[in-house]
Chains A and B, each alone.
Chain A
Amino acid sequence: MSLAANTSGNRMALTGNESVAFAMKQINPDVVAAYPITPQTEIVQIFSSYVADGDVDTVFERVESEHSAMSAVVGAAAAGARSMTATSANGLALMWEVLYIAASNRLPIVMPVVNRALSGPINIHCDHSDTMGARDSGWIQLYSETAQEAYDNTLQAIRIAEHPDVELPVMVCQDGFIISHALDNLYTLDDAEVQGFIGSRTPTYSLLDVDNPATFGPLDLQDWYFEHKRQQAEGMKNALDVIPAVAEEYGKLSGRDYGFFEEYMMDDADIVMMVIGSTAGTAKDVVDAMREEGHKVGLLKIRVFRPLPVAQLVRALRGKKAVAIMDRAESFAASGGPLYKEIRSALFDCEKAPMTSNYIYGLGGRDIGPEDLRKVFEQSLAAAKAGHVEQPVTYLGVRE
C-alpha cells in the first residue's frame, strides 16, 4: 500500500483484529459463522457485539467447529447470501475439506485469516504455515502488512470474490499478534462509502430462487469434473485482471493504492528482499539504513499470492542481481519454502534472471529483527559479488 497525499477517511486507533471486525461491520454481511480460535477470536467476538447492539443485520451463527463454520457459509453463500467467517491455524486446518468445496462451487466467501503456526508442537504465534498450506485450495489469498492493509484488503476482497468473472472465495491474511493485537493508526471509510463501493451481491445461482430451481454440488465424475476444474482455473486467472481494477477503484475512493505487490526502493536496486506480511515493515527500515551506507538494496512485498502475478513479478525482478526470498513457513520438501519455490519457478524463463536464495524465518512467532534482515542483505550482496549462492536454503534465527 502506498499512501497518496490525498488519503482520506476517518482516523482511528485499531488493532488488526479490530480493523477487520470494523470492516465486517461496514460490509454488513448477510451471514457470519463464528467459532473462536486464537489469535482470531477477537474478530468474531467484536462482531458479535455489533450483532447484539443491532449495528448490523447479519444472521450470526455460532457453530460447533471450524468445519461447521465453513460448511455454514458454503450453504449461505449458495443461497445467495454475502457470507463471512474468520479463523487461524488449526481452525483453518479443520476447514480443509470444505475450503476446496467453497472454491470449486465458486462461492464468493470472504474470510479473514489471522496467521498462526500450525500444531505441533502447540504454538499460538505467527507464521504462515496455515495459509501457505491452503495455497492450492482454490482460494484467492491477500496478505496484509498492517492493520490498515487488513482493513483495506477486507473491503476489496468482497468485490474481487463476487466479481462475475471470478466468483471465488478470498482469504484476507494478517500476522497473528504482531498485527492482530497491536494498535495501529489507520484511516477508515464512512459506512456509506463502503456500501457504495461493495454494492450488493448478485449471485449467478441461488438456492432460494425458487422460480429457477438449481442443483448444487451434484456428483460430477469422469464426464465433466475436469471441465469444471478448468473453469475454476480460469476464474483464478481472471482474478489477475479483476484485482488491479478493484484496487484502482478503491484507490480513487480512499487515496490508498494497492498493487499485486509493493515495491520499496526497487528502481535501482541490485539486491532484493521478497517478503510477506508484517516483516516488511522491519525490512523497510533495514533498506533505509543500508541505502544510507550506499548499498543498492530494495524490498518487494507480496500482497497477492493466489493468483501469483508471475508476469508482473518477472518484470519487477528482471535484471536484478540477487533476490532473497523470505518464507515464514517450511514446506518440508527438503528444498525450500513455498514462496521460494514459486518465485524460482517464475524466474526460470526470465532473461537476466537474478540468483535466488531462500530464508526460512520466524516459525512459531520467533522474533525477527533488523540485524537478522541485515544479515540476509549482506549475504545476498556477497553472493552477487561472488557470482554464486553459497547456501540456497538458510534457517534464519534458529539456534545452530
Chain B
Amino acid sequence: MTNSESRGCEKWETPSPDATWRDVPRGGVIPRGGNAAEYETGDWRSSRPVYDGEVCIQCRLCWIYCPDSAIATNEEGEVTGIDYDHCKGCGICAVECPKDGAMVMVAEEL
C-alpha cells in the first residue's frame, strides 16, 4: 500500500513514541486479546476496599460481583486481596460481602 495507513500487523505491540498515524492499526482496533490488563485504572479510585483475610469466610461473592477482575485469588481460587492496579473503588465487593469487617471501604487520601 502506498501513501496510505497501516492495516495493522500481526505482531502488534503498543506503538513506540515515534510511531505516526501510518503505523497504528486501522479504526482504533487493538489486534491482540487480553490487553485490558495493561490499562491500569486503579488511579480512578476515590475510596478503596480493604480486605481482611482473618475475617473473610471465602464465600467469593466479592470475586463474583466485581465488575472488573480486581479481586486477587490464589491457584485454589481463594480470595487473597485486591488488585489495586485495576480496582476502581466502586464498592460493590464491600456491599455484597456478608461478613462484617472482611471488606471495608476506606477513603483514599488525596
Interface residues of A in 213-270 (CB under 8 A from B): 213-218, 220, 224-228, 230-231, 234-235, 238
Q: How far is the CA of A164 from the CA of B6 in the complex (A)?
A: 10
From A167, A212, A218, A235, contact of B28 by CB (8 A): A218
How many B residues are at the interface, by size bracket?
20 to 34
On chain A, the residues within 8 Å of B33 by CB distance are 213-215
Q: Mark A172-205, 1 if CB is under 8 A from B, else 0.
A: 0000000000000000000000000000000011
The answer on a CB contact under 8 Å between A230 and B21 is yes
User: Across the two chains, which residue of chain A brings its CB closest to B1?
Assistant: A165
B26 at the interface (CB under 8 A from A): yes
On chain A, the residues within 8 Å of B31 by CB distance are 205, 212, 214
Q: How far is the CA of A82 from the CA of B54 in the complex (A)?
A: 56
The answer on a CB contact under 8 Å between A228 and B4 is no
A128 at the interface (CB under 8 A from B): no
The answer on a CB contact under 8 Å between A205 and B8 is yes
- For residue B38, give the distance in angstroms from its CB to the closest CB of chain A: 11
The answer on a CB contact under 8 Å between B21 and A227 is yes
The answer on a CB contact under 8 Å between A218 and B15 is no
User: Across the two chains, which residue of chain B brings its CB closest to A214?
Assistant: B31
B27 at the interface (CB under 8 A from A): yes
B108 at the interface (CB under 8 A from A): no
On chain B, the residues within 8 Å of A220 by CB distance are 28
On chain A, the residues within 8 Å of B1 by CB distance are 164-165
- For residue B15, give the distance in angstroms from its CB to the closest CB of chain A: 7
Interface residues of A in 127-141 (CB under 8 A from B): none
Interface residues of B in 1-36 (CB under 8 A from A): 1, 3-5, 7-8, 10, 15, 20-22, 24-36
Which of A164, A230, A231, A238 is packed against the most chain B CB atoms within 10 Å? A231
- For residue B77, give the distance in angstroms from its CB to the closest CB of chain A: 24
The answer on a CB contact under 8 Å between B32 and A214 is yes
Known: A167-B26, A204-B26. A213 touches B4 (CB 8 A): no
On chain A, the residues within 8 Å of B21 by CB distance are 226-228, 230-231, 234
Interface of B is mostly: loop
A331 at the interface (CB under 8 A from B): no
A105 at the interface (CB under 8 A from B): yes
Known: A205-B31, A227-B20. A238 touches B26 (CB 8 A): no
From B4, B25, B32, B34, contact of A234 by CB (8 A): B4
The answer on a CB contact under 8 Å between B7 and A104 is no
From B4, B8, B20, contact of A204 by CB (8 A): B8
On chain A, the residues within 8 Å of B5 by CB distance are 230-231, 234-235
- For residue B16, give the distance in angstroms from its CB to the closest CB of chain A: 12
- For residue B2, give the distance in angstroms from its CB to the closest CB of chain A: 9
Q: How far is the CA of A167 from the CA of B27 in the complex (A)?
A: 9
A303 at the interface (CB under 8 A from B): no
A321 at the interface (CB under 8 A from B): no
- For residue B39, give the distance in angstroms from its CB to the closest CB of chain A: 8
User: Across the two chains, which residue of chain B brings its CB closest to A227?
Assistant: B21
On chain B, the residues within 8 Å of A227 by CB distance are 20-21, 24
- For residue B34, give the distance in angstroms from its CB to the closest CB of chain A: 8
Q: How far is the CA of A107 from the CA of B33 in the complex (A)?
A: 20
On chain B, the residues within 8 Å of A226 by CB distance are 21
- Interface of B with A (CB < 8 Å)? 1, 3-5, 7-8, 10, 15, 20-22, 24-36
CB<8 Å pairs between A and B, sample of 17: A104-B28, A106-B27, A164-B7, A165-B1, A165-B4, A204-B8, A205-B25, A213-B34, A216-B29, A217-B28, A218-B28, A224-B24, A227-B20, A227-B21, A230-B21, A231-B21, A231-B24
Further pairs besides A227-B21, A230-B21: 6, Cβ < 8 Å: A106-B27, A107-B27, A213-B34, A216-B27, A227-B20, A235-B4
- Interface of A with B (CB < 8 Å)? 104-107, 164-165, 167, 204-205, 212-218, 220, 224-228, 230-231, 234-235, 238
